[in-house]
Structures are given as C-alpha cells and as structure tokens.
Amino acid sequence: MRILYFLPRYDRAAMGNRIHTEVIEAWRSLGIEAEVLSLAADQRRPSRVVEDGIVVHRLPSGGGLPLRMANRALAPIFPYPYLAGAIVGLRRFFASAPPFDLCHVETAFPLGFAALLASRRAPPLAVTLPGADVMAEPEYDYGYARFRTVRAILPSVFRRALVIRADSPQIRELAIQRGAPPAKVTAIPYNITADSFPPSGEALARVRARSRAELVVRHQLDPERPIIVSLNRLHPFKGIAYLVEALPTVRAAGMAPQVLIVGPNRSTPRFGDYGAFLRRRAAELGVAGDVLLTGAVPHHDAFTYLAGADVAVVPSVAESFSRVVIEACAAGTPPVVTRTTGASAYVAAAQAGLVVEPRSGPAIGEAIVALLRDQTVWKSYSLRAAELAKQFSSSRIAADLAALYRAALRGEPLPEPVMV
C-alpha cells in the first residue's frame, strides 16, 4: 500500500510532527510505503526532499503576489489564511504525482476541504479529525466549526472521504452530529512518541525521583510539598484558569501544593494575554504564591515535568484528545482530566486517573485531594496509568491505522469503535 500523508506543516524536529514520523516509520515494517505532503507558506516553488528516509513534498501556499491575493480573497469566507494556495498547490501536485492508494488527510478543514476542491485525480481520502475542525467553542475562541461556512462544508468532505478516523469516541460522536456517516467513522487515538516513555531498563520510581529533584532545583520548590503540573499551551479552551480556581479547595483540605503551569503563552480576542489573565486570577484568589508560570519548555523537558509531578491536571473546557494525558500516564503520574477531554474516555476505562466535570475549580480540587491524601490510592492509579500508556505506542497505533485503511480499501465493514 502506498499512502500520501497530508499535513498542514511538516518538520521532523517539531514536537507536534514527531508522532506522524513515528507512525510512518512503523508502517514500513507492515509493508506500507508513505510519503509526506505539507504546505509551506514561505516557498515560491514546490520541493521534494528526503528527510531521514521519508520523502517529503512541500507545496507553496502563500508566496507570490497572485497566491497572496487569492488567499486574502478567501480568508473572509473561510477562516484559514492559505486555503487558495493549498487548492492551487494540490491541483498541480496531483496532476503529475505518482499514484497513491490512499491520502491520509490531517483535518477535514482546511486540508480535507482543499483536497475535495483540488482535483478528481486525488486518491481516496482517509480523513483524520484532530478535533479543532469539528469543534465549536466560541466562548473560548476555539474550533473551526464555530464558523458557519465550515459547518456548511463539513458534510461534503465527509461524503467524499472513504474512511474517517476520529481521535476519541467524543470526536466520533461530534463528527456524526456534523454530518459524517456513522459507518465511516472509527475512533483511533493519536500515539505518543517513544521519548514520552521512561528510558528502557530504568526503574520508573528512580526516573520519577530524579525528575522531581530536577524540578525542585530548577524552580526553587519546597521538596516536601506536592507538585501539580499543567503542561499545555496557554489558551482559554485549555481551562487552566479552573486549575488555579481549584487551589482554595486543596488548601481547605490542609494541603499546600505547588502548581507549575508549563507552556507557551497565547493571546485571544476575548481574553487578551492569557498568562496575565491567569496571574490576575491567582492574585484574586490569594494563591499567587503557589502558582508559577514557567513559559514554554523544550520537548525533551516535557517528560521531566510530567514525571516530576505528583498529579498532572488537564482541565480543558473541550478537547478532542490531549496527548498530555497519556504522556503523564507514561511517566507514572495520575492525571486529573475533564470529562470533555477526549482522552478521558480511555483514562476512565482503565481507572488510570480521575475524570471530573469541566469548568469547575472545586471539582478539580477535590480530585487532587483524593489522589494526594492516600499514598496507597495514588500508587494504584500510577501503576494503572503506566500500563495504559503502553497501548498508545506508535507501533500500536500505526498497526490499528493500517488495519483500518486496508479494510476500507477492500470495501469491508470497518471495525466497531473500541477504547484502547
């Protein structure tokens, strides 16, 4: 099988792209050949390079005056700045590209829509839904589906798709609500990268102790107090304010946690500078001394923060999956995760952490207290979390996708959605 793996952007060194690289590498052992296709806003001409044994095609999507003007003309209608460039680039690519059996497309919008308009010569589409394309959270400035034009075109993309992969049961149900035929949609989660797991051959307890000691020194923490970590970009839909609002509940239980909010800051029209918003909220609640915003950290440091924590909190208002939840599990750190975060379904099934209602600081606080007050309870969650994470390895998810795509190409019924 030959697969074209279509992404908005591809950089093997980028944290977000490494999950795709590992899937493509795992496919080789299954007899699948894959090439990457991505957009490049700063290029004037298409390019083809080989990066670590993977053929990577990049299409110009924003360079040159005609393309820039076409992008600007479409932008008020469709909320993606390079849609015209993507359509033009795809038409030219498919006019001369070698045949592929399938095109794995990351997003129904914008990429699935661009492929739909680009050419009838495109191979059958296997659309992956990472969530933002079908979600609508206007109160938190998030989700393409909050725009009427995107909601209107999604059913057309779903009809054209041979198969649709949702990254959680939650997103599968939402896709069906947006017009996806139920028989086409299967829930297969995203993988986590190999470096999300502890080093091979080293005891998890030792890795966790070393990570904790490193955090204590780096941020001048009190080694006797619990460490709570949130690791994500600082965007309102991530719900990090609710973690700050959980601290009075934890304090009232006689605990004094130290909260590290880790991730790059964002600004949105409704909230402005979100980091500044979080600091103000902590000050209002009298917990500013317990909260530290670290800013972004390199990808290789993410494991240290998750393994050094007693609890990882993912308080998203709505999120399709959240790999951070599973990465915390891989580090042996029980997560507290909102029910509206897609990964919560897997956590709940495995009893690997605590699932709480969204938009509730007290609910998060009570879950943190429940995990920290009894070391025996904490250890049981930690062990189950580490076991759960093994099922999200790149090799496992690559095999599940390969089986799905082969069944779809043979016209066989797709497997029933099951939780990992």
Mean of pLDDT values over 362-369? 98
- CA 344 to CA 322: how far, in whole Å? 9
Tokens at 263, concatenated: 């991730």
Measured between alpha carbons, how far is residue 372 from residues 38, 222, 246, 331 in Å? Answer: 45, 16, 14, 17
Mean pLDDT computed over every residue of the chain: 94
What DSSP character marks residue 112? I
Whether omega for the bond prior to residue 110 falls within 30 degrees of 0, making it cis, is yes
pLDDT for the residue numbered 327? 98
Distance CA 310, CA 292 (A): 16
Copy the structure tokens of residue 352: 């690997």
Average pLDDT over residues 311-339: 96
> Residue 141: what pLDDT?
84
Query: Which of 111, 193, 206, 119 has its CA nearest to residue 157?
Result: 111
pLDDT at residue number 420: 43
* CA distances (Å), origin 105, targets 33, 111, 115, 319, 410: 16, 7, 8, 20, 19
Encoding tokens for residue 339?
């029910």
- Check: CB of residue 329 under 8 Å from CB of residue 347: yes
Q: Is the pLDDT of residue 201 over 90?
A: no
Domains of the chain: 2-191+394-409 (3.40.50.2000), 194-390 (3.40.50.2000)
Residues 271 and 337: their CA atoms lie apart, in Å, by 23
Q: Give the pLDDT score at 120.
A: 75
**pLDDT > 90 in the chain, percent:** 87
Of the listed ranges 14-23, 89-98, 235-244, the least confidently predicted one is 14-23
- Reported as half-sphere exposure (CB side, CA atoms, 13 A), residue 43 has a value of 16
Contact 146, 136 (CB under 8 A): yes
Look at residue 139 and give its three-state secondary structure. helix
Q: What is the mean pLDDT of residues 142-153?
A: 95
Q: What is the pLDDT of residues 68-125, one digit of tens each?
A: 899 999 999 999 999 999 999 999 999 999 899 999 999 999 999 999 998 778 899 9
The three-class DSSP label of residue 174 is: helix
Predicted pLDDT of residue 14:
65
Q: Give the C-alpha separation, 301 to 27, whole Å.
A: 28
Q: Could you tell me how many helices (H) and strands (E) the chain has, helices first?
A: 15, 16
User: What is the pLDDT averaged over residues 299-319?
Assistant: 95
Give the full edge-to-edge strand order of the sheet including 185-187. 47-51, 54-60, 33-40, 2-7, 102-106, 125-129, 163-166, 185-187
The per-residue DSSP string of 29-92 comes to TTT-EEEEEEEETT-SS-EEEEETTEEEEEEESS-SHHHHHHHHHHTTTSS-TTHHHHHHHHHH
- Could you report the per-residue pLDDT of 254-282, keeping only the tens digit for each? 999 999 999 999 998 888 999 999 999 99
Closest C-alpha to 309, from 241, 252, 243, 248? 243
What would the pLDDT profile of 120-133 be if each residue is shown by its tens digit?
A: 788 999 999 999 99
- The larger pLDDT score, comparing residue 42 to residue 129, is at 129
Alpha helices in 123-273 (DSSP H): 148-160, 169-177, 204-219, 240-252
The closest alpha carbon to 356, from 231, 266, 245, belongs to 245
